[in-house]
Copies of this chain bind each other. A is one copy, B any other.
Amino acid sequence: MTNDSIQDGWFTEKSDLWPGQGLALKVKQVLHHAKSDFQDILVFQSESYGNVLVLDGAVQVTERDEFAYQEMIAHLPLCIHPYPKSVLIVGGGDGGVIREVIKHQAVEHITLCEIDPQVIEVAKKYLPSLAVGFNDPRVTVHVGDGVEYMKQHAGNFDVIITDSSDPIGPASALFEQPFYAAMRNALKPNGIVCTQAESIWLHLDLICNMKRFCSKLFPVVGYAWTSIPTYPCGQIGFMICSLNPLTELEQPTRSFSDTQLKSLPLRYYNKRIHTSSFTLPQFAQVALDAVDNEPEAVAASQAATSHVTLLRERESAEELANRRDNEDAEDEESEQPSEKPEQVEADASTDAS
């Protein structure tokens, strides 16, 4: 890519992934433009969205609306998991996901595995409000390939968050079954993964296919979404999978107090948004429900559950004891585990089926 995407002072984001449409942002100043070993990296100061990071022509973050994405991809899995101590972030070199993960006091170790070191450098220089979390003592940065890293760290993580760019270029493998299998193997028992999973308005087939293979690997699989102005169609989603068959994705086990929402701060996520983010427009709900009704689905669900049984056997008595100690300690922290909400009435929850 050259600066052809900027004409008459406007950047326009065009791609074969969203043909015939494009977001235009007015440019005040180009701050950085270079080719790394992996991709084209452009940073510009926009007139109304702050600084903007563009990889291979696609907007990754703008300072004005990035929180809608970072908060949702981080707090959805971290508030579902009852005791997230060890977190792996694949991608996310801008630091935005780290910034959200460190808001959870329960988290003890965060590893960021980013393939392109230049993204990290650029973020530290031009996106300081995102990169702030790199200084947290719980954070370790590993520059390298996510799948290789996970192979070397089997059974290590409570939560894996994959903050990837689109399924083209260096991130394309992150939307395929082998990557999800690698994540599964890198999880502790009852672990959860949450990955960038594109937009229902543009890539519903891709999302359905992801749900199809995720359901073979995990007993609990769901899709949630967020509103975000500068992503194509103004919306992006997340595939969330849990190894614990009892997980209710829509009902977080942990929540932020009103004081925390204000002070941390959280600008998009709250408990009600968590629950409603799993509610889809009828056309998308019908398509995703259809995946569950495919002939393979029942067998796949059984296979996923038997894998969980194996993982549970692997879970040692020591680990269980550690967890109990940790749960006791957590009661004294400000992140209070919330009581399970009542089920929403059956009529409503089956309405879109």
Contact = CB atoms under 8 A, between A and B. Distances in A.
Interface in A271-309: 271-273, 275-276, 279-283, 285
Q: Which of A227, A261, A273 has the most CB of B within 10 A?
A: A227
A352 B271 CA distance: 7
A58 to B, nearest CB: 14
A275 B342 CA distance: 16
Contact of A282 (B234, B255, B269): B269
Q: Which of A23, A228, A282, A347 has the most CB of B within 10 A?
A: A282
A349 B258 CA distance: 12
Interface string A20-32: 1111111000000
A19 interface: yes
Interface stretch (A42-50, A156-164, A186-194): A42-50
Contacts of A344: 341-342, 344
A94 B270 CA distance: 37
Interface in A209-255: 225, 227-235, 255
A231 B272 CA distance: 25
B270 A285 contact: yes
Given A19-B47, A285-B270, A341 B347 contact: yes
Contact of A273 (B20, B227, B234, B282): B282
Contacts of A270: 281-282, 285, 351-352
A235 B230 CA distance: 11
B283 A268 contact: yes
Nearest to A252: B348
Nearest to A256: B351
A21 B46 CA distance: 9
Contacts of A21: 23-26, 48-49, 229-230
A66 to B, nearest CB: 13
A344 B20 CA distance: 42
A44 to B, nearest CB: 12
Contacts of A282: 261, 266-270, 273
Given A201-B65, A269-B282, A273-B282, A255 B351 contact: yes
Contacts of A281: 68, 227, 267-270, 273
A338 interface: yes
Contacts of A353: 258
Q: Which of A225, A345, A349 has the most CB of B within 10 A?
A: A345
Contacts of A19: 26, 47-48
A12 interface: yes
Given A267-B282, A353-B258, A275 B348 contact: yes
Nearest to A67: B283
Contacts of A255: 347, 351
Given A225-B227, A228-B234, 14 more contacts: A19-B48, A20-B26, A20-B46, A20-B47, A23-B23, A68-B281, A227-B227, A229-B235, A267-B282, A267-B283, A269-B282, A270-B351, A341-B345, A344-B344
9 A-B pairs with the lowest CB-CB distances in the bound complex, closest first = A234-B234, A20-B48, A276-B276, A20-B47, A229-B233, A341-B345, A271-B351, A276-B279, A22-B24
